[in-house]
Amino acid sequence: MKTKKTRKGFTLIELVMVLAIMGILIAIIIPSWSYFVRRSRERTANAKAKVIFNAAQTEVTRVNMKERPDLNVANDPAADSVKRANAQNALYIGDGDFYFYWDGKNGAEVDKDGNDIGSDSKSNISFANGINNINNNGEGVYKIYVNNYNVQSVVYSDLAKGRYKGTYPRMMDDLPDAVRSSVRSNAVQSIDLKSIV
């Protein structure tokens, strides 16, 4: 008597079903994976922005102590106008808005849009060194916003036009969608830091 051999393997329909299920799973996993990667890298950048924020506040406090006598003269309406002008010119940070940008190699005082305003390079070097002594000797790229000797906000990225940026005191996840989108799409130098405060 002959025994019937059974063939083992997949039918075409079974193979198509497996491929369809794998396609659906891949379509779900890939966008989720990129979301988790971006979120993880932004959280790392947020942590670095916090370190820079604290280092900058320490350095701003040091500069404030140094500038206090000149600031008092500059703000004294009874002082001679020439002395007031000289005292105002001696200030590096002052009691108004101050922005500082570090490109990974050099630091400069900039305006709110990130344009170098040509301030004293010796002061820029001193300010950058004070921050970078705490920040792994100038790792990454950052921009700082200071108002009245208080650091208001910081943005950080590994690269000037890096894809993953971190912000502090408001983290990327805490920013409104429009602001978060603007931070992600712009270079660090041109980000409006007042929107992060």
- Residue from 127, 57, 140 nearest 91 by CA: 127
- The whole-number pLDDT of residue 3 equals 65
Residue type, 55: A
The total number of residues written for the chain in this structure: 197
Q: Measuring CA to CA, how many Å separate 195 from each of 30, 76, 107, 160, 175?
A: 32, 32, 22, 19, 9
The neighbouring-strand residues paired with 147 are 97, 150
* Terminal CA-CA length for the chain: 88
- The whole-number pLDDT of residue 90 equals 87
- The whole-number pLDDT of residue 2 equals 63
Q: What is the pTM of this model?
A: 0.81
User: pLDDT per position in the chain (197 positions), as tens?
Assistant: 566 667 777 788 888 999 999 999 888 888 778 888 888 999 999 999 999 999 999 999 999 999 999 988 988 888 888 888 888 888 889 888 999 999 988 899 999 988 888 777 888 888 999 898 887 777 899 999 999 999 999 999 999 898 899 999 999 889 999 999 999 999 999 999 998 88
CB 154 within 8 A of CB 49: yes
Residue written as token pair 């036009």 = 161
The neighbouring-strand residues paired with 143 are 101, 155
User: How would you list the strands of the sheet with 141-147, edge to edge?
Assistant: 107-110, 97-102, 141-147, 150-157, 165-168
Taking each helix axis from N to C terminus, what angle separates 12-74 and 121-132, rounded to the nearest 10 degrees? Answer: 130
CB 44 within 8 A of CB 165: no
Handedness of CA 147, 191, 48, 131 (dihedral sign): negative
pLDDT per position as a tens digit, 70-127: 988 988 888 888 888 888 888 889 888 999 999 988 899 999 988 888 777 888 888 9
